């Protein structure tokens, strides 16, 4: 255990105690899930314990047997509000939240997604009756997807991206349904103790009297038939074909083992009979061990093949070097370039993870053709932006950030500004973001001030509808300024210090980074500016501290994905040092000096 915390680079004694607390609570509360987490690589296990312990803590508040529903909902509100405050401050006196905050910052997890799953729990605490399997399944999706997707993010951050194939979306959903139905059956007695039956009316109505008998805790033929029906259903849902196809052997082994364990849980439910109504049932230790012992050996072997990275913060560059040239998170290739050009093969460890683009030269492009400036913006958006996004997805880039409108661009005339806004609106509505199968996620970095309200709404809506996508992340820097971003981060830190949540002497770079607009986005590896100017123009000042720079003479509307690929190929030749001395063999000067000494 101490060894695992050290391997995960968790050295602070308070944090170690917090993670240890999470581990014990997960182990005690959910033995089967705990054993599945033990199949994760050691460096990721503490994060898994923290996330699970946090979800469980919130779930336990929502499901508490004591007190009225409104009081439970209020307690959960207080718990999540405390988490929100403490996330900003960076620490908590509550060990579970303290470990979770560290996990979120260490692995830059998506806070919005965590909050979404807590919000679902709140609805449960308030009591929500589910009529149909469809509603039930949507609820399962909302509350469980977050856990699954955060675990996938962890793996991706550690160098093992886990692809989600859209064509298998239904199969994933059914599988999650199977896991959740198994849980519901195993813990039936706890639901009954609270007076809840978390099954949809649709199925209960098929077994007349079963609901009444369940409430009376009476094991009748109706209840027995209902349990048999649900157990068979859960077995079928768990048996989704081809879920592990194309997965790295590590996650594939975890998925197979989880499936076996959950089938064993269902067998235990079926064998339990009346006992099911009085206590939670689990497969025997012997059965669990028979499944887990060989799985552990296979998982250990599988992870040895994986290029795992240590947690990204504390030392060196903010993010581990990218491990995959072609991101398998890409769900379906976007349309190819009309010339038939294909992306170059970039060695995995030379591929940038995050490319940020200053798309400049629209106005000059138009003027040189005797066209009004807005025509340049139009072609830049319709042709260059679209093609570069496709090219980024095709080459397997993880993060592409586009500078679309700066806080300084308000100095332009109103008509030009209006055109620029209309272009963004059109882009949000285009297939880049509306076609689910490209898996492209949109994020927006910028301020609301000055923007039309309906455009802000469209941006937020596009962020929300694309948030689960697992391919390329496109960040639109729109009404964005680097100094404005740093100033608002400073204001938040000052507020935390005034409230006594942060001591100025202990302020770290991570603290500041976690208050930026998109704290879970990795640092910029490469800034690319078109249009011939050689300046940064207030773009991503913090995030590009160690970025490589690339300048292209072409005006932006003349650019296409081949220019992006050329830029990435050039980046791949560069040596990044982060302040270190160059390795001896690559320095001709030093060889010369040594030669002359001899």
Helix (H), strand (E) at residue 177: helix 169-186
535 contact choice in Mg ion, ligand IPE, none (CB below 5 to 8 Å, kind-dependent): ligand IPE
Among 362, 407, 475, 521, binds ligand IPE (CB under 6 A): 362
Angle among Cα 65, 71, 73 to the nearest 5 degrees reads: 90
Q: How far is the CB of 548 from ligand IPE (least distance, A)?
A: 19
Contacts of 147 (CB under 8 A, 6+ apart): 51, 52, 55, 117
From the candidates 191, 196, 267, 409, give the one annotated as an active-site residue. Answer: 409
Among 334, 363, 481, 519, binds ligand IPE (CB under 6 A): 363
Residue (360 or 463) nearer to Mg ion, CB: 360
Question: Taking CB under 6 A as the rule, does residue 404 contact ligand IPE?
Answer: yes
DSSP string, 106-142: HHT--HHHHHHHHHHHHHHHH-----SHHHHHHHHHH
CB 129 within 8 A of CB 67: no
Binding residues for Mg ion restricted to 325-364, rule: CB under 5 A: 360
Q: How far is the CB of 418 from ligand IPE (least distance, A)?
A: 12
Smallest CA-to-CA distance from 246 within 343, 164, 149, 305 is with 164
Contacts of 99 (CB under 8 A, 6+ apart): 15, 18, 19, 21, 22, 46, 49, 50, 53, 54
407 is in an annotated binding site: yes
CB 332 within 8 A of CB 437: yes
Burial status of residue 508 (CB atoms within 10 A of its CB: 0-12, 13-18, 19 or more): exposed
Q: Determine the interface stretch with ligand IPE among 88-96, 227-235, 403-411, 579-587 (rule: CB under 6 A).
A: 403-411
Among 43, 264, 358, 424, binds ligand IPE (CB under 6 A): 358
Question: Taking CB under 6 A as the rule, does residue 235 contact ligand IPE?
Answer: no
358 contact choice in Mg ion, ligand IPE, none (CB below 5 to 8 Å, kind-dependent): ligand IPE
Among 360, 485, 520, 525, binds ligand IPE (CB under 6 A): 360
Q: What is the torsion angle, in degrees rounded to the nearest 10, for the CA atoms of residue 247, residue 251, residue 253 and residue 255? A: -100
Question: Taking CB under 6 A as the rule, does residue 69 contact ligand IPE?
Answer: no
How far apart (Å, rounded) are the C-alpha atoms in residues 88 and 304? 36
To the query of whether residue 409 is one of the catalytic residues in this protein, the response is yes
How far apart (Å, rounded) are the C-alpha atoms in residues 546 and 335? 33
From the candidates 183, 360, 520, 560, give the one annotated as an active-site residue. Answer: 360
Residue (110 or 360) nearer to Mg ion, CB: 360
Q: How far is the CB of 531 from Mg ion (least distance, A)?
A: 6
CB 389 within 8 A of CB 398: no
Binding residues for ligand IPE restricted to 165-224, rule: CB under 6 A: none
To the query of whether residue 538 is one of the catalytic residues in this protein, the response is no
How far apart (Å, rounded) are the C-alpha atoms in residues 281 and 267? 10
469 is in an annotated binding site: no
Count the site residues for Mg ion by CB under 5 A.
1
Site mask for ligand IPE (CB under 6 A), range 304-343, x = bound: ----------------------------------------
Catalytic annotation, residues: 360, 409
Binding site for ligand IPE (CB under 6 A): 358-364, 403-406, 409, 420, 531, 533, 535, 537
């Amino acid at each position: 255990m101490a060894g695992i915390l050290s391997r995960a680079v968790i050295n602070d004694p308070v944090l170690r105690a917090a993670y240890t607390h999470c581990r014990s609570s997960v182990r005690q509360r959910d033995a089967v899930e705990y054993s599945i987490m033990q199949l994760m690589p050691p460096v990721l296990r503490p994060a898994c314990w923290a996330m699970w312990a946090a979800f469980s803590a919130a779930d336990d508040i929502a499901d508490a047997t004591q007190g009225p529903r409104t009081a439970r909902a209020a307690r959960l509100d207080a718990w999540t509000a405390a988490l929100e405050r403490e996330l900003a401050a960076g620490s908590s006196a509550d060990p579970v939240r303290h470990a979770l905050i560290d996990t979120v910052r260490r692995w830059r997890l998506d806070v919005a997604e965590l909050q979404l799953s807590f919000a679902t729990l709140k609805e449960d605490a308030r009591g929500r009756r589910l009529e149909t399997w469809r509603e039930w399944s949507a609820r399962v999706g909302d509350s469980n997807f977050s856990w699954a997707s955060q675990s996938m993010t962890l793996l991706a951050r550690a160098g093992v991206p886990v692809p989600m194939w859209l064509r298998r979306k239904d199969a994933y959903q059914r599988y999650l349904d199977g896991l959740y139905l198994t849980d519901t059956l195993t813990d039936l007695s706890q639901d009954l103790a609270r007076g809840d039956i978390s099954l949809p009316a649709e199925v209960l109505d098929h077994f007349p009297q079963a609901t009444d008998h369940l409430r009376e805790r009476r094991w009748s033929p109706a209840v027995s038939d209902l349990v048999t029906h649900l157990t068979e259903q859960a077995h079928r849902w768990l048996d989704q074909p081809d879920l592990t196809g194309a997965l790295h052997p590590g996650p594939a082994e975890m998925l197979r083992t989880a499936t076996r364990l959950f089938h064993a849980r269902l067998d235990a439910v079926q064998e339990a009979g009346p006992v099911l109504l009085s206590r939670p049932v689990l497969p025997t230790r012997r059965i669990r061990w028979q499944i887990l012992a060989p799985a552990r050996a296979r998982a250990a072997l599988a992870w040895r093949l994986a290029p795992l990275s240590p947690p990204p913060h504390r030392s060196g560059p903010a993010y581990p070097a990218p491990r995959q040239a072609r991101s398998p998170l890409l769900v379906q290739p976007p349309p190819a370039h009309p010339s038939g050009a294909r992306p170059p093969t970039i060695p995995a460890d030379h591929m940038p993870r995050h490319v940020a683009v200053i798309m400049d030269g629209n106005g000059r492009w138009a003027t040189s053709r005797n066209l009004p400036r807005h025509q340049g913006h139009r072609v830049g958006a319709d042709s260059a932006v679209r093609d570069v996004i496709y090219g980024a997805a095709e080459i397997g880039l993880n993060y592409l950030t586009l500078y679309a409108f700066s806080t300084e661009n308000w100095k332009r005339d109103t008509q030009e500004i209006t055109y620029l806004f209309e272009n963004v609106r059109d882009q949000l509505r285009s297939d880049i973001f509306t076609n689910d199968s490209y898996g492209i996620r949109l994020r927006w970095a910028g301020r609301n001030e000055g923007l039309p309200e309906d455009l802000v709404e469209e941006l937020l809506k596009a962020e929300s509808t694309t948030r689960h996508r697992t391919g390329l992340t496109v960040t639109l820097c729109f009404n964005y300024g680097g100094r404005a971003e740093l100033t608002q981060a400073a204001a938040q830190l000052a507020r935390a210090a005034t409230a006594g949540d942060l001591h100025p002497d202990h302020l770290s770079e991570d603290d500041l980074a976690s208050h930026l607009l998109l704290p879970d986005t990795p640092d910029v590896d490469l800034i690319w500016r078109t249009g011939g100017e050689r300046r940064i123009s207030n773009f991503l000042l913090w995030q590009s501290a160690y970025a490589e720079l690339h300048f292209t003479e072409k005006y932006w509307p003349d650019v296409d994905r081949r220019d992006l690929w050329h830029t990435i190929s050039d980046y791949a030749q560069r040596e990044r040092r982060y302040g270190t001395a160059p390795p001896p063999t690559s320095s001709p000067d030093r060889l010369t000096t040594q030669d002359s000494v001899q």
